[in-house]
Structure 1
Amino acid sequence: MKHVVFNNKKIDASTFLQMENLSISLSKDPHAFLEFDFQAYFDDEEQKFTVSHFWDNQEHLAQLNGLKSDVYLKALGNKHHTDFKEFKDTLKELHETHLKSFFTQLYVLLEDIRLEEIIVRQRPGTRQLFSTRKNIYRNYFKSQFKANEMRNFQLDQLYCLIYLSLTSTQLTYQTNEQLEEVLPILFQTFEAKKTSDISSIIFQVQQRLLPIYKQDMIHTYFGFLPLNKLADTTSCNSKAKELQNDDEQEGLEERNSEDEKLSTWHRESKNNENDDNFLRFEVESGTKTAIKANFAREQESQDQAIGNAFGSSKQGDHKDSKQTDATETANSSNNSHQNPFGKYNSNVSIQYISPKQQTIDEKKQYSTLSAVVSKDVKELRKTIEKSLENKQNAPSDKYYGRLNKKWIKLFTEDKPKMFYKKQTESKELDAVFYLLVDCSGSMFNKMDEVKKSVILFHETLKQLKISHSISGFWEDASNASKENKPNILHQVVPFSQSLYPSTGPNIMQLHEEEDNRDGLMIRIVSEELAKRPEKHKFLLVFTDGEPSALDYFQDGIIDTHEAVKQARKLGIEVIGTFIEEDEHQDETVQLMKNIYQHHFLIASGTEDLRLQLKPLLKKLLLRSID
């Protein structure tokens, strides 16, 4: 198990789920899903929305407003008010110019402005969200303009001025000769009714600017991911434009590929001074050969900037897994929203392991560790028994029964209850506990101390006759694949045997294994706990870090948070216990808060864990006295 940091940021599970629920609500599509990315966009083919990491460094309220504005623009705006056929056709045409990055991003910007006007009219309550968005972006583009001016990035300067001009609330603003020429056209955006109107505006601007600028925009400010797909579709489309050259490469069928190297150069593929483009976008020129259009070439200075204009991706592994999961979800009857284990746990299998026959060594080890916690167990048992006795004998004020000695009530109350009735029925602890132990590989130096804490719970609960269960869990990483992810639940102390005097040594069978899929196991044991008849249900999860398993990574935080939330809806109190070997780190606190909200404790080292668990157990037991 390891801490997974994406873009140097931990995923805030609560915020993510809030944005995801908002996107589903606005899009009215229960199968849509949300991701964080470097740019915000809507993929109409996968029904995927993304929100931008641009907001990561903002203050919390500004960050929420910014993320919500992304969701509104994509889930409500693009989803319901963008003509994607028109949008993609226009993008393909813009794609053929040497200023593709500039016009692509300008097209996205103008469409977003049009959508913002529609959304604010339909939902006036969003005005504040977009006001915050506009203010933050204006400050950003002001700083970008100065930086681009110093570097003499002329088209980037123009783009910044366009944004500042279109979002200005004043009649005067900074301008230049090129901006003055196109600004009247750009202001037509506020009168646009549909996507085709924005297309008309962008082509008018294109006619005026193409002859002036020879070099494309360098930076990426707004992106649109499906352009990657457009490029692939264009290069593979059977109805692609006719090649400028009608020549062919002869004799390929007679040649032996092992004996002779094929040509890997198209004369039109060489970049000239006026058109530094990716080769895959130039396949309309070339020869009718068997050579693949997307062959590799050396990277050039502007490649990354142009590539980003079509949507920057996240870490490769995560993105691949997302796309794979989406495909599997679409083709499977057990899709993500029907999967009882949650949408991030596709293709998992569960193996339940019963405790093995106890060995002599296990019995000796248990005897040694139980002696360490025996004093704490006795103190806890006496405290709870005394509380039960006080609860049982506590007088209750009534209008009849035994006369109460507190006569002052005659003078302080209008209708004093001067009698009481002694409670004859016995009070019991109406509670049930489930201890879930992370058995991932990184627990190798902490498992002994975790066992002491588990024994503390087991012995205390056993003496108070409170049913409980103890299990370890892990994922078999060595045998895991995208088609099958085997997960093991090792139930060393089942409910049916939890009060037996001889079950304790089974706890010694917990060992560190491989990966951990916390959200999955919390869901499984929560279902078991929910069926129990006890009134008070507690689930304690012993872990030492972030969930980590195949195709889980950053999704593990989201999934575990969601599993905890669902368990609490079932009336189960879920508490996370984190073992931190070093001093408390802010990242650790934020991680636990993301998953468990305020119901967690962090032990500063293994020795501190048991000391913190003792008052926690006392508090939970006292709460469960009826």
Structure 2
Amino acid sequence: MAMTSINRFIDFNDELIDAGERLRLERLARALTGMTDIGLAERQHIEFHPASNELAMSVFWRHREPEVTEQGRLSDLYLLAAGFWSKFDLPVWQKYRSVTEHHPLREFLRSAVLLFEELRITDAVISERPGTEAAFSLRRRMYGEFHTGQQPVNLRRGFRADALFNHLYAVLHSFSDTYGSSGEELAELVDPVLFSVYDARSTADAVRLAERLAPLLHGRLDEDLRHSYYAVGDGLTGPGPDFHYHRGTEDREEGEEGQKESVGELFSTWHAANRSEKGMHLNYELEHGRIGEGDGDGAREGREGAEATSTGRGQSSADERTGIAHEAGSEASAPDAGAWMKADGFGPANESVVYRELLAEPDSSREAHERILSWRDETVPHVRAIVKEMQKRIERKREERREGLPKGRLSKNPISVLTDERPRPFFRKQSPSKRLDAVFGLLVDGSGSMADKLDETKKAVLLFHDILRSLDTAHGIAVYQEDSAAATKKRQPNTFQWLHRFRDAGRDDGERILSMEAGDDNRDGFAVRWMSSQLLRRPEAHRFLLVFSDGEPSAFGYGQNGIVDTAEAVREAEKKGITVIHLFLSSGPATARQQELFRMMFGSRSVSADSIDRFSDETQRILRKLLVLASGNM
């Protein structure tokens, strides 16, 4: 019995989200708010998170009938993005929070204001958007059942404030309850106030109603709410510690901005404040400026991508081969290290990511050389077979003739001139082609979990490299990983290590492939976006992106939202004409849960090897299919 309970607990916490559904709801939230990069999360109650630019739906709708879950989550979004977003008076709310900070019933009174506001705002949204009525009707019914069900439980436990709050919800939404009949005299005191809720036209009206309740409850309720019912008003204060000023300008900036009237304005301001820190001029002034005000001559607003108008000399040196500067004592000081770059335009889930691109050092050891020779001896028949097959396809394509044309070269047997009313006796050969008009990008998961399968992964990557090199087909191979030890909320460093670059053409990089090592975490969606950007710069007509990974995304703050981010990155790549294929690397067959996860992220183009020994076989099979696809569309 105990083991069953443990398994149920593990299953609940390991629950998968539906990435496709989350993306659909996220697009709805963006349409309703007008913000193209706002994100979506799930928490105990609906709430706003300006710091992370997110709206949060409630987990209240999980584990219900699909229609209930769908309509319930829609009601969350309607209430947040079409309701509180523009119809909630922030200055009034923030003042009331401040006034009630030390009130013994502050949670009850604040929750009462939000309850009154939910009723008013719901009616306003339905009036503006009649199509939302079905979702809100279901919402009222489900929460009404919840409150009327919890009321007797709270009464038995002596949680009088919670039972009274259940009563407020039941009365306002026309549900019958047992509160008044239980001997609670508070029902007779508060009900006359509740009848005025329907006349409320603003947040200020809702606050005044709560202020009328306060003296009625004074001395009659001896404790505040035991449970949380609303979180929608939390965190609506403005840019916090993530947005910082140099101490020389802090005093001047204080009070310069007026209070924001709505949630939407707060989000826009917070987002603009964080974004403005990326500008070169502002960044230098904030981080390195002197205390005091500037003279203002030639001043202009900082903006992302702006060029520096002045330079400073620091302690740095450049790599002799690449010319890339490495800061002294920094993470970029390793050989062949690239500069750290901000991940701009790589999705909301990756806004705090910085990344660098390195060229892997080849493993020139005798052991590596012998291993390469051994692996190539095993795979050379397969490489030759695929190369020969593709060369035949290319040659056949070159020899194919387009018959029945109105102009061109005359056919050998132009009988149609005599038999057809409108003869078309000409033909043309296909345009000659000596190579595939295709480019391949291979991403290899460099997380720590790859350590036990590195050899087979290297063998598969080497096979991929040898086939494409023999066909003179452009390809790039990179290992990606995030440094978990250095990752913080404000900065998550990621590294892409090139094993073979696109510009290296037919170069044999087997020794670089053999140097591959396992690192820490994997941010798959970010990696897909990065490689997609590399492929989109290429002139080839057909672009393919393969991802070799042994599990789900796992990085700092990149759990379930990492699944959604990866799914969105894959869909974005597909829309831009890039075919994305995923190969799951495991020592055994993929479980049902893993298969569902990969389907969510990569759609139907996800393949799993049954065992470690089949990595190379699956790589060969996938690559052959993609090559045939590219040759058929020449």
TM superposition shift of 1:12: 4.5
What one-letter code is carried by the residue in structure 1 that aligns with 2:180? N
2:344 corresponds in structure 1 to 339
1:176 corresponds to 2:180: yes
Residue equivalent to 2:210? 202
Counterpart in 2 of 1:458?
465
Contact 1:42 1:79 in 2 (8 A): no
Q: Distance in 1 between matches of 2:552 and 2:421?
A: 58
Question: What secondary structure, in the 3-state scheme, does the structure 1 residue paired with 2:545 have?
Answer: strand
SS across alignment from 1:624: helix
Post-superposition Cα deviations, 1:500-525, rounded to whole Å, max 9, x if no partner, equal: 4x433432122212333333333332
Task: Give 1:588's match in structure 2, choosing from 557, 582, 594.
Answer: 594
Are residues 1:489 and 2:496 paired? yes
Which of residues 221, 227, 245 is equivalent to 1:219?
A: 227
- Check whether the contact 1:467–1:498 (CA below 8 A) recurs between aligned residues: yes
User: Secondary structure of 1:539's partner?
Assistant: strand
Number of residue pairs the alignment of both structures matches:
523
1:436·1:539 contact (CA, 8 Å) conserved in 2? yes
1:42–1:48 CA contact under 8 A, matched in 2:
yes
**Take 1:479 and 1:350, find their aligned partners in 2: how far apart are those partners?**
14
Gaps of 5+ in 2: 1-9, 241-269, 281-303, 305-340
Residues 95 and 104, structure 1, Cα contact 8 Å, conserved in 2: no
Distance 2:342 2:118 in 1: 30
Tell me how far apart the structure 1 counterparts of residues 521 and 157 of structure 2 sit (CA, whole Å).
48
What percent of counterpart residues are identical? 28
Which residue is 1:160 aligned to?
166
Match of 1:278 in 2: none
Quote the residue 1:188 is aligned against: 196
**Other-structure match for 2:455:** 448
Following superposition, the deviation at residue 430 of structure 1 comes to 1.6
Q: Output the TM-score relative to the length of structure 2.
A: 0.71
Shift of the 25–228 alpha-carbon distance from structure 1 to 2, 3 Å rule, reads closer
Aligned partner of 1:434 in structure 2 is: 441
- 1:205-354 to 2 correspondences below 5 Å: 205-224=213-232, 226=234, 331-333=277-279, 339-343=344-348, 344-346=350-352, 348-354=354-360
Residue equivalent to 1:527: 533
1:131 counterpart (134, 137, 148):
137
Matched to 1:450, the amino acid is T
Query: Which residue number in structure 2 is paired with residue 506 of structure 1?
Result: 512
Cα distance in 1 for partners of 2:81, 2:155 equals: 35
Alignment of 1:569-588 (within 5 A): 569-588=575-594
Paired residues of 1:42 and 1:75 also in contact (CA < 8 A): no
Unaligned runs of 5+ in 1: 233-323
- TM-aligned CA deviation for residue 580 of structure 1: 3.3
Q: Tell me: CA distance 1:587–1:109, structure 2 relative to 1, closer, same or farther (3 Å).
A: farther
Alpha-carbon shift at residue 440 of structure 1 (Å): 1.7
Letter in 2 for 1:205: L
The 8 Å contact of residues 541 and 575 in structure 1, kept in 2 or not, is answered as yes
Three-state SS of the structure 1 residue aligned to 2:463 is: helix
C-alpha change, 1:574 and 1:341, in structure 2 (3 Å) is same
Work out the CA distance in 1 between the residues paired with 2:51 and 2:539: 47
- In the alignment, residue 458 of structure 1 is paired with which amino acid? H
Q: Is the 8 A contact 1:145 1:157 kept in 2?
A: yes
Are residues 140 and 389 of structure 1, via their aligned partners in 2, closer, same or farther at CA, if it must alter by over 3 Å? farther
Q: Distance in 2 between matches of 1:124 and 1:406?
A: 69
State the secondary structure of the residue aligned to 2:580: strand
CA RMSD of aligned residues (A): 3.9
Matched, 1:113 2:119: yes
How far the C-alpha of 1:115 sits from its partner, in A, is 0.7
Helix, strand or coil for the counterpart of 2:429?
A: coil
C-alpha contact 1:381 1:460 (8 A) present in aligned 2: yes
SS at match of 1:560: helix
Alignment correspondent of 2:298: none
TM-score between both structures, scaled by the size of structure 1: 0.72
Taking a change above 3 Å as real, the CA distance of residues 162 and 406 of structure 1, as seen in their structure-2 partners, is: farther
CA deviation after TM superposition for structure 1 residue 473, in Å = 2.3
The aligned residue for residue 153 of structure 2 is 147
Q: CA deviation at 1:492?
A: 1.8
**Aligned-partner SS, 1:445:** helix
The verdict on how the C-alpha distance between 1:416 and 1:369 changes in structure 2, with shifts beyond 3 A counting, is farther
2:67 pairs with 1:54 = no
Instruction: Check 1:134–1:503 CA distance in 2 against 1; reply closer, same or farther (3 A cut).
Output: same
Whole-angstrom distance in 2 between the partners of 1:372 and 1:406: 54
CA distance in 1, matches of 2:16, 2:540: 37
Task: State the secondary structure of the residue aligned to 1:598.
Answer: coil
CA distance in 1, matches of 2:145, 2:200: 26
* Distance in 1 between residues matched to 2:550 and 2:81, nearest whole Å: 37
1:345, 1:520 within 8 Å by CA — same for their partners in 2?
no
Higher relative contact order (CA 8 A, sep 6+): 1
- One-letter amino acid of the counterpart of residue 437, structure 1: V
Which residue identity lines up with residue 465 of structure 1 in the other structure? D
Q: Measure, in 1, the Cα distance between the counterparts of 2:276 and 2:63.
A: 35
Identify if the C-alpha distance between structure 1 residues 351 and 6 changes in structure 2 by more than 3 Å, giving closer, same or farther. Answer: farther
- Deviations, residues 206-236 of structure 1 (Å, cap 9, x unaligned): 4434444333332222234537979x9xxxx
| Cα deviation digits, residues 550-600 of structure 1 (max 9, x gap) | 454554334433433333343222222222334423432343234323332
The 2-side partners of 1:135 and 1:379 are apart by 66
For residues 565 and 184 of structure 1, the distance between their equivalents in structure 2, rounded to whole angstroms, comes to: 55
Residue equivalent to 1:80 = 86
| Cα 1:514–1:327 shift into 2, 3 Å | farther
Contact conserved, 1:31 with 1:337, CA < 8 A, in 2? no
Q: Does the CA contact (< 8 Å) of 2:451 and 2:518 recur in 1?
A: yes
Which residue number corresponds to residue 473 of structure 1? 480
CA distance in 1: counterparts of 2:424 and 2:66, whole angstroms: 56
- 1:38 is aligned to 44
Q: Secondary structure at the match of 1:601?
A: strand
Deviation at 1:434, TM superposition (A): 0.9
Contact 2:589 2:610 in 1 (8 A): yes
After superposition, the C-alpha distances for 1:263-303 in whole angstroms (9 at most, x for unaligned) are xxxxxxxxxxxxxxxxxxxxxxxxxxxxxxxxxxxxxxxxx
Return closer, same or farther for 1:506/1:349 CA change in 2, 3 Å cut-off.
closer
Pick from 372, 379, 390 the counterpart of residue 378 of structure 2.
372
In structure 1, distance between residues paired with 2:363 and 2:608: 34
From 362, 376, 380, give the equivalent of 1:356. Answer: 362
- Partners in 2 of 1:516 and 1:14 — Cα distance? 21
Say if 1:362 and 1:506, in contact at 8 Å, map to a contact too.
no
SS at match of 1:226: coil
